[in-house]
Amino acid sequence: MAEASDRFKAKLDELRRQALEAVGAAGDAAALEEARVRYLGRKGELTGLLRSLGELAEVERPKAGALANQVKADITAALEAASTRLSGGVRAEAIDVSLPGRRNPLGTMHPITRVMEEVIGTFSRLGFEVAEGPEVELDYYNFEALNMPPDHPARDMQDTFYISDRVVMRTHTSPIQVRVMEKRQPPLRIIGPGKAFRCDSDVSHTPMFHQVEGFMVDEGVSMAHLKSILSQFAEQTFGAAPLRFRPSFFPFTEPSAEVDIQCTVCNGAGCRVCKGTGWLEILGAGLIDPEVFRAVGVDPERWSGFAFGMGIERIAMLKYGIDDIRLFYEDDLRFLKQF
């Protein structure tokens, strides 16, 4: 049995010698792979030699196995060194230097942000400047100064998040109008973009949404000026889509109007977004009520003005043909990547 062990060792030594010669002679990756498969593959020479371990005495097998593992390690090390040599110092199996680099994925502007900036840009070109105000607002600015004293029924139109009896999450960006007129005298052309909050959630409403308040105060301002400004805005935003003004009520404007655009989801045929009417309200507007002027110390006998407020989500839904407002806030990359 000792002779069998010696023969096994001699065969291992010869296999190692031949394998190292083949690896050293390999001139390219294909030849190197051929040497690896020949000597270390599943049907390679080392695998075949290991099958003869059973011919050795049981006491000789551990020593012979350890020797076989050392031969395999020597050949593997030679293969790795040759691979590094052939790839110019870089392991071929780790990095293929011929491939283009991987680019980091870039984010895109959220559709709400995109539409908000477009709206701001449109009104800036029409001579309006941007103002901001707090999202957590006093009841006075959110309601009372806008002609909605306590117990006024119009407060029921706005499903309000109350922080305390006198502090609310603002239900619209109209408080910006009051804050600006408290500090500055007319003439004024202001837009106030920002977030607003109401207890409402369905396919066309969310508890948090974005709004742009706009107002203009000067001598002799009329509904004609309001219609002209809003018509220019609608044309620049939606193109030639039909627009209509219809009478409405807001406590801080008199007279008041709702401004509708033909539903771009169904093109006026009627759908769940426009509730079958073929029209979708995009904003409310009207001439500023004299009571609002008196609350901020502006003389309503001298000055007049108009105000309007629009939901940015509603504008984006119309602009991009989206039928569910909740898609904007679900963080679905399949949706957001379209923008």
Q: What is the CATH number of the domain that holds 19?
A: 1.20.58
Do 255 and 318 share a domain, yes or no?
yes
Residue pair 21/14 in contact by the 8 Å Cβ criterion: no
Q: What is the CATH number of the domain that holds 249?
A: 3.30.930.10
Do 67 and 133 share a domain, yes or no?
no
Do 139 and 282 share a domain, yes or no?
yes
Tens-place pLDDT, residues 125-166:
999 999 999 999 999 999 999 999 888 777 777 788 999 989
Residue 46 placed within a domain: yes
Domain span including residue 163: 111-336
Tens-place pLDDT, residues 167-225:
999 999 999 999 999 999 999 999 999 999 988 777 667 889 999 999 999 999 999 99
Residue pair 73/29 in contact by the 8 Å Cβ criterion: no
User: What is the count of structural domains for the chain?
Assistant: 2
Residue 150 placed within a domain: yes
CA–CA dist 22, 26 (Å, integer): 6
**Is the pTM for the entire model greater than 0.75?**
no
